[in-house]
Amino acid sequence: MRLSFVGIWFLCFSLTYASCSNTSAFPELSEADLSELQEGLQQGQFTSVDLVKAYLARIQEVNTALHAVAETNPDALTIAQTLDEERKAAGSYALLGSKVPHDSTVVAKLRAAGAIILGKANLSQWANARSSNTTNGWSAYGGQCSAVYYPNQDPSGSSSGSAVISSIGLAFATLGTDTIGSVLSPSDVNNVVGIRPTVGLTSRHLVIPFSLRQDSVGPLARTVKDAAAMLSVIAGPDPADNYTTVNPHPDLDYTKFDEDYNTTLKNGRIGIPANILEVFTASWFDTTNTSGPVMDAFYAAVNLLEQHGATVNHNANYSRLDEYITGYLDGSISNVVLADVAYDIPEYLNLLQPQATPLPQTLEDIRNFTQHYPLEDYPDRDTADFDMELAAPSASSAEIWAQYQLNLQLGGAGGIVGALDNNNLDVLIVPTQASPYVTCIAGLPAISVPLGFYPSSQPVLESSRGLIGTAPGIPFGISFIGRAWSEQTLLKYAYAFEQLTQVRKSGKPYMLPSTELGDIVG
Ligand SMILES: *[C@@H]1O[C@H](CO)[C@@H](O)[C@H](O)[C@H]1NC(C)=O
Ligand SMILES: *[C@@H]1O[C@H](CO)[C@@H](O)[C@H](O)[C@H]1NC(C)=O
Ligand SMILES: *[C@@H]1O[C@H](CO)[C@@H](O)[C@H](O)[C@H]1NC(C)=O
Ligand SMILES: *[C@@H]1O[C@H](CO)[C@@H](O)[C@H](O)[C@H]1NC(C)=O
Ligand SMILES: *[C@@H]1O[C@H](CO)[C@@H](O)[C@H](O)[C@H]1NC(C)=O
Ligand SMILES: *[C@@H]1O[C@H](CO)[C@@H](O)[C@H](O)[C@H]1NC(C)=O
Ligand SMILES: *[C@@H]1O[C@H](CO)[C@@H](O)[C@H](O)[C@H]1NC(C)=O
């Protein structure tokens, strides 16, 4: 499965600056949540400068091994007062040194809310839109990022570093972009909560695009509450991204989900799309035979939800799944995003500031650059995906428009929305590994929450180029999927599940930085 897109900034929240310090009971940074950090800052236990120093020290401890962080922000220590310029790269040397005219809208909103941008995550280059022969978390500029639940673990992608950073507290939380699962999938294997919002809930202005019809910027955090707090900050209309102007729900405070998770579950109406799970577990699809432990954990979770009073419909099937699978296998489904890359990337490049050495202008230019610049590792890593994108019909052609309309139907009335409406349900659940299918083509939202870990009996399997894809202790998640703009509902269920199970806490990273606030303060 190809996973797409660019994860970007990671951050730490700061609110107040205080003079006295109180060194007892610092929150542990690999688990600290927003409320603990805010409380510590407000009480003067530590300052935001301490927090930045601690995160930078933690990054330094592990980054040589993990390559999770591509660049730290040189201004991080003084940024609390100033909104200095931010440099951007795309994991490719093609855009190294390029300058955006101003912050992306999501970053501007985070800064305005008091967040400090610590740096940039290492990602899968061009959101995995370049090569058929590359790896998750690899970029020419950033090197190979790996995850922490098994040595040399495949971090998944494409928001690879974003997930690793949040997972072990190299920052408070991170952002990523999801086109076909690029937030959901790294959240899955890194034991974090990831939100893929409805396309149009968060602005993509000045975020390097893959497909504006499917791209969605969302948070990766350690708890549902923290992810919801981040979403509340970054959501909302932006004249520079017209998809954000059609949200029918003006209430963008996503932190108001019900605290009483028992009541949520007692009134819960949850569906399982059994027919997609039949595909997910079929031997022709699950070629590595790794779905077994995931399904065991999934059905144990379903049992638990039922025991807590939730009504679970086990046959909330997608009515047009057969057509989806046909289009998935013959590639017609993905023609929309393939066509969009060649159109949307030049549109983004147009927004960059002019500079002495001209930047590439088109995807052809980027392909040519990639094939000639030695550090881009060509031809060992090819440009087959660029080739496919450049060969796709034009993004504005009638053919792509028709396919886009079909995709919206297959994901909507013939998929998720139909399953919810026909069965009077609030939310669908599937293992996160099965969640990008159907969901992303219709721009629908999903939230991944930790569900379990591969058992000690799990055979160790390489994914590619020496990275380990499946092994004992590697995490996996469950996803809550819903109608467009239903994030409030999804969060309520995700929170209830998280509170009930507390799965994340059983994760055992083989590598953790040791610097804590107590080492910095005083
Ligand atoms: C120090 O912080 C702890 C935990 O936040 C708090 O319980 C305690 O009262 C604080 N002590 C002082 C002297 O402020
Ligand atoms: C946004 O603008 C593009 C280009 O003008 C158009 O194709 C698209 O339909 C618009 N989308 C919305 C949601 O208005
Ligand atoms: C939910 O119910 C369980 C008992 O099933 C109880 O232990 C827990 O405290 C309840 N949680 C809340 C938030 O009321
Ligand atoms: C849903 O799909 C499952 C698996 O394909 C199938 O066994 C079941 O009969 C279907 N149920 C309905 C109501 O269509
Ligand atoms: C697939 O994995 C399961 C464990 O999850 C194992 O019991 C089964 O034998 C495996 N099947 C094959 C064909 O290897
Ligand atoms: C491709 O890149 C090479 C090396 O940078 C350059 O010499 C050549 O002119 C480029 N070709 C095209 C068609 O842009
Ligand atoms: C990908 O690259 C590796 C390393 O060079 C090579 O062993 C492998 O055969 C290549 N695979 C494809 C599909 O080109």
Beta bridge mates, 470: 461
From ligand 2's centre to the CA of 197, what distance in Å?
Answer: 18
Question: What is the C-alpha to C-alpha distance for residues 272 and 314, in angstroms, rounded to an integer?
Answer: 5
From ligand 1's centre to the CA of 173, what distance in Å?
Answer: 25
Q: Is the dihedral of CA 44, 48, 52, 55 positive or negative?
A: positive
From ligand 3's centre to the CA of 501, what distance in Å?
Answer: 12
Return the pLDDT at 241: 97
DSSP string, 177-210: EESSSTTHHHHHHHT-EEEEPPBTTB--TTSPPS
Closest ligand 5 atom, residue 289 Cα: 1
**381 — alpha (psi -120 to 50), left (phi > 0) or beta?**
beta
Cα 199 from chain centroid? 13
Domain range for 189? 8-331+406-521
454 within 8 A of 466, measured Cβ to Cβ = no
Q: Per the domain annotation, does 342 fall within a domain?
A: no
Helix, strand, coil percent content, the chain, rounded in steps of 5: 40, 15, 45
Q: Per the domain annotation, does 351 fall within a domain?
A: no
481 within 8 A of 429, measured Cβ to Cβ = yes
482 within 8 A of 445, measured Cβ to Cβ = yes
Nearest ligand (C-alpha, residue 466) = 7
From ligand 3's centre to the CA of 514, what distance in Å?
Answer: 34
The verdict on the CB of residue 262 being under 6 Å from ligand 3 is yes
Q: Which residue has the tokens 């939730």?
A: 310
Return the pLDDT at 157: 84
From ligand 5's centre to the CA of 289, what distance in Å?
Answer: 6
What φ, ψ does residue 163 adopt, rounded to 5°? -70, -40
The verdict on the CB of residue 133 being under 6 Å from ligand 7 is yes
Ligand 3 pocket: which of 257, 258, 262 to mutate (most atoms <8 Å of CB)? Answer: 262
Q: Per the domain annotation, does 29 fall within a domain?
A: yes
Compute CA distances 435 → 100, 109, 246, 331, 440, whole Å: 33, 28, 25, 18, 9
Q: What is the pLDDT along the chain (522 residues), one digit of tens a residue?
A: 232 223 334 443 433 333 344 455 799 999 999 999 988 887 888 888 888 899 999 999 999 999 988 888 888 877 643 322 332 337 566 667 678 888 999 999 998 888 888 888 877 777 777 778 888 877 777 788 889 999 999 998 888 889 999 999 999 999 999 999 999 999 999 999 999 999 999 999 999 999 999 999 999 999 999 999 999 999 999 999 999 999 998 899 999 887 799 999 999 999 999 999 999 999 999 999 999 999 999 999 999 999 999 999 999 999 999 999 999 999 999 999 999 999 999 999 999 988 878 889 999 999 999 999 989 899 999 999 999 999 999 999 999 999 999 999 999 999 999 999 999 999 999 999 999 999 999 999 999 999 999 999 999 999 999 999 999 999 999 999 999 999 999 999 999 999 999 999 999 999 999 999 999 987
Return the pLDDT at 410: 98
Going by C-alpha positions, the residue among 267, 265, 275 that lies closest to residue 301 is 265
- Asked if omega into 158 is within 30° of 0 (cis), the reply is yes
Return the pLDDT at 15: 32
Residue nearest to atom 12 of ligand 2 (CA): 243
What φ, ψ does residue 355 adopt, rounded to 5°? -145, 170
What φ, ψ does residue 356 adopt, rounded to 5°? -55, -55
Domain count, the chain: 1
Q: What is the CATH number of the domain that holds 290?
A: 3.90.1300.10
Q: Per the domain annotation, does 366 fall within a domain?
A: no
From ligand 7's centre to the CA of 136, what distance in Å?
Answer: 15
The verdict on the CB of residue 22 being under 6 Å from ligand 1 is yes
Nearest ligand (C-alpha, residue 46) = 1
Within 10 Å of residue 258's Cβ, how many Cβ atoms?
15
Compute CA distances 122 → 217, 305, 434, 509, whole Å: 16, 37, 25, 19
Q: Per the domain annotation, does 205 fall within a domain?
A: yes
Nearest ligand (C-alpha, residue 307) = 3
Ligand 5 pocket: which of 286, 289, 299 to mutate (most atoms <8 Å of CB)? Answer: 289
Q: Per the domain annotation, does 235 fall within a domain?
A: yes
The verdict on the CB of residue 289 being under 6 Å from ligand 5 is yes
The verdict on the CB of residue 505 being under 6 Å from ligand 6 is no
From ligand 5's centre to the CA of 240, what distance in Å?
Answer: 50
The verdict on the CB of residue 288 being under 6 Å from ligand 5 is no
Closest ligand 2 atom, residue 243 Cα: 13
For 155, the 3-state DSSP assignment is coil
Closest ligand 1 atom, residue 22 Cα: 1
From ligand 7's centre to the CA of 380, what distance in Å?
Answer: 7
The verdict on the CB of residue 42 being under 6 Å from ligand 4 is no
Return the pLDDT at 101: 86
Tokens of 327: 């289009």
Return the pLDDT at 94: 64
Q: Per the domain annotation, does 504 fall within a domain?
A: yes
Q: Which residue has the tokens 């057969």?
A: 322
For 338, the 3-state DSSP assignment is helix
Cα 407 from chain centroid? 22
- Report the amino acid identity of residue 146: S
Question: What is the C-alpha to C-alpha distance for residues 249 and 245, in angstroms, rounded to an integer?
Answer: 11
Label the pairing between strands 311-313 and 427-431: unpaired
Closest ligand 5 atom, residue 457 Cα: 4
Length of the chain: 522
The verdict on the CB of residue 243 being under 6 Å from ligand 2 is yes
Question: What is the C-alpha to C-alpha distance for residues 138 and 141, in angstroms, rounded to an integer?
Answer: 9
Return the pLDDT at 2: 30
Q: Per the domain annotation, does 391 fall within a domain?
A: no
- Report the amino acid identity of residue 39: E
Return the pLDDT at 91: 53
Return the pLDDT at 115: 87
